[in-house]
Chain A
Amino acid sequence: MDAFRIFIVEDDLLYGEMLRRHLTLNPDNEVYLFRNGEECLKNMYREPNMVSLDYSLPDMSGLDIMRRIKKDFPEIPVIIVSGQEDISTAVTLLREGAYDYFVKDDDVKDRLWNVIKKIRENLQLRSEISYLKEEIGRKYEFRNVIKGNSPSIKQIFSLIEKSTKTNISVSVTGETGTGKELVAKAIHYNSNRAKKPFVAINVSAIPKDLIESEMFGHEKGSFTGAVTRKIGKFEQAHGGTIFLDEVAEMDLSMQTKLLRVLQERELTRVGGNDLIKIDVRLIVATNLNLAEEVKKGNFREDLYYRLLGMPIELPPLRYRGNDIILLAKHFVDEFCQENKMKKLSITESAQQKLMQYPFPGNVRELRAIIELAAVLTDTDKIDESHISFNAVDAAENLLMEENTLAEYNRKIISHYLQKHNNNVLLVAKKLDIGKSTIYRMIKEKQIVL
């Protein structure tokens, strides 16, 4: 959890400062002290997690301030801490929505800590509930999430299903856009950890200097800028799953630290001394070949074996045959539904065009192409003219098809013939091949004019 922000509104300088210092003893708390109601109201944009109000203030009563806070920020708990021992005042304030009412007596410390603990627990619960609602809403039943009927994707379903039954680490590989994070989520939300957090870290997106603090957290003051204690992603994922995307990008020194955490199942926050037990399931992903990275000396061998667990290699979309059309139809339906559009169909010619394309950006690229096509069409159909592959390099696409040399020859000669009005002599000259080669291919119907 981030810093717990507390506002203290207290005109008694001594008591206010004492409360401020007391609550700051917990480094998780970020405490602001205000001497009057107006100052507090002006600072409400900081969105405190709790407001502690003195009942008698110089500019307005605690009740007035509380009413104004409740009007604009009904979710923020307001505690009244007062020298006022009159029960009827307490009853009025509680009826008006005060979270609690304390008299400034010897028990005020303990009461404050208890109430903060309760509020924090409530916040945690609220955030977990909204998190779960959001995630469950996406229906992570993996056959709903990962679409496809091709043999290669059916094999992936089988591996995902097996991996959900144990806590084995999973390493997901595949080209960009094949859905590695989706697989990780599908595993998590179909495992017995589904009700605990799924926390993803993109290793390549975090600066090298910050990655340790991001993963394992830090203590207040452990380095410049560490103004409060920070809970790292591993702690956030306690009981759940942590997904390390682009894990091959991790530097060797961090790999050593990660290995130790995985072996010992405990961590120490940066700048801290306490050992914190963690229970996380690990899923990693990379689009590099980790074994190759080990050979090159870029990745620790011992960590490689610890991470490998169950390897799942996601096939590129171009090897998934008719899944391209199945996914295209799914994306167009989804897009129309999200944008409250009429249902669109994909014509036969558009489907053929899609099937011939190698999709270097895989499923992610297919989605983008389909969404653009859905926007471009003026009818209830997407035809080939709406399918645009402009964003990628044609030569690279051709190479990604991974054809035989003979097939590439055929394609190149066909392309030249088309371009030069089937002028065989000109094409033979341009490609520096014999004209008889071209005539033979035409005769054998390898090339259709």
Chain B
Amino acid sequence: MSQNQELYHLDKLIGFVGDDPAAVANMVGIFLQTTPELLETINLSFNQKYAEKIAKAAHSLKPTLDVFGIDSLHIIIRKIEQKARAKEIDNELFELINKLNSVLEDVFNSLKINYL
């Protein structure tokens, strides 16, 4: 099973579900099903300036990104949640969400190639 070390690493996930390729693939499947939904919520809510929804979705996304070892988003997702809770719907938040979208898009593509 190859991994893109720059984008993500699945050590933590394997630590949770065991070194079982089927279990890992199953978890990747769930990730690819649930994460785009949360991402979409964040994007839509930003457009609608619905800070609370952004905060909630970011809060849900936080542990998932940690478990999938997407280290480049570790600080970004926390900043998004923090700013949304503070109702700071500004350009900085826009940039952070853009970064989130871009990294996750790469992660989705890579995971699809490697695991599906």
Contacts and interface: CB of A to CB of B under 8 A. Distances in A.
A17 B30 contact: yes
Interface in A81-108: 83-84, 104-106
A15 B63 contact: yes
B67 interface: yes
A13 B34 contact: yes
A406 interface: no
Interface in A4-61: 11-15, 17-19, 21-22, 25, 56
B15 A83 contact: no
Given A13-B30, A83-B59, A18 B66 contact: no
Interface string A219-261: 0000000000000000000000000000000000000000000
B87 interface: no
B5 to A, nearest CB: 18
Contacts of A11: 60
A106 B66 contact: yes
Contact of A18 (B13, B33, B35, B62): B13
Nearest to B17: A21
Contacts of A22: 16-18
A306 interface: no
Nearest to B63: A104
Contacts of B70: none
A25 B18 contact: yes
A109 interface: yes
Contacts of B16: 18-19, 21-22, 109
Interface in B61-116: 62-64, 66-67
A80 to B, nearest CB: 14
B66 A104 contact: yes
Contacts of A105: 63, 66
Contact of A12 (B13, B27, B60, B66): B60
Of residues A13, A18, A22, A109, which shows the largest number of chain B Cβ atoms within 10 Å of its Cβ? A18
Interface of A: 11-15, 17-19, 21-22, 25, 56, 83-84, 104-106, 109
Interface of B: 12-13, 15-18, 23, 26-27, 30-31, 33-35, 56, 59-60, 62-64, 66-67
